[in-house]
Amino acid sequence: MSLRLAVVSALALLASAGVAEAACTYDIAKGLNASGAGIPYPGAEGRDWFAKKAPITVGGVAYEAYGLPRELGPMDFQVLERAGVYSGVMAFAEKGQPREVVYLPVRAADCSFQPYQKKQGG
pLDDT of residue 42: 86
pLDDT digits (tens, 9 = 90+) for 43-62: 999 999 999 999 999 999 99
Q: How confident is the model at residue 33 (pLDDT cuts 50, 70, 90)?
A: confident
Q: How confident is the model at residue 10 (pLDDT cuts 50, 70, 90)?
A: very low
Q: For the residues 34-50, what does the mean pLDDT come to?
A: 90
Contact of 92 with 102, CB cutoff 8 Å: yes
Contact of 102 with 114, CB cutoff 8 Å: no
pTM for this one? 0.77
d(CA 7, CA 46): 35
Cα–Cα–Cα angle for 86, 112, 58, rounded to 5 degrees:
20
Contact of 23 with 108, CB cutoff 8 Å: yes
